[in-house]
Structure 1
């Protein structure tokens, strides 16, 4: 197994597991201080984004770990790139213009795609 993949994908998976879990279990009022965009998005959509993030985190780790359906790992990373591209669009259309974290996540997920193709 490629150790660089595990480092990058593991950190990315931890981030998305944390962020997705927060979106799944916290109320809109609890999310607002961290995520200014939650007032512009229906709560079921926020919950769905959280579920997608948790599933993306699992997709980065479980297929290579188990050796079952390994091509799902780069597919999950591509999905996370697309998720963050959408997040950047949402940030730029609102009054919250802070996209540095999103851009960093796009780059990290893209590197994960590249590393996952070598598994």
Structure 2
């Protein structure tokens, strides 16, 4: 299970690092044009904050465990992603973008597995 948690954490970290960097690097108009219609409903600062949280969570899923420094940050980062995905699902539901909620639920479930595993039976 330890290896499976590392794989899941690595996949989550890669996905959220890419998504977060995209939100940090691109202006809101480009995000909306690239298919993130929800970005048009939020101010630039909020989009940048979401991107920063995603990048920090991606780092928090890997570095503390890999370096052996404050490994309790791994499940906390995973819990942060759970909360972020709940918020994302709510936004997509309000915008009636129901197919997008599926991706949120999958990412939420993966983050919840990492949080459960690292807080509980397979903590570092």
TM bucket normalised to smaller: over 0.9
Moved >2 Å (runs of 4+): 95-98
Kindly indicate whether the alpha-carbon contact (under 8 Å) linking 2:29 and 2:40 is maintained by their aligned counterparts in 1.
Answer: no
Structure 2 residue runs of 5 or longer lacking an equivalent are none
TM-score with structure 1 length normalisation? 0.94
Equivalent in the alignment of 1:74: 75
1:103 alignment counterpart? 105
Query: Residue in 2 aligned with 1:34?
Result: 35
Displacement after TM superposition at 1:10 (Å): 0.2
Distance apart, 1:93 and its partner CA = 1.2
> What residue in structure 1 maps to residue 87 of structure 2?
86
Gaps of 5+ in 1: none
The aligned residue for residue 7 of structure 2 is 7
State the match for 1:50 in structure 2. Answer: 51
Task: Provide Cα deviations, 1:67-105, integer angstroms capped at 9, x if missing partner.
Answer: 111101000000000000011111111242321110111
CA distance in 2, matches of 1:7, 1:37: 30
Deviations 1:28-69 (A, max 9, x none): 122112311000011110000000000000000011001111
- Structure number with greater CO (CA < 8 Å, separation at least 6) is 1
Number of equivalenced pairs: 119
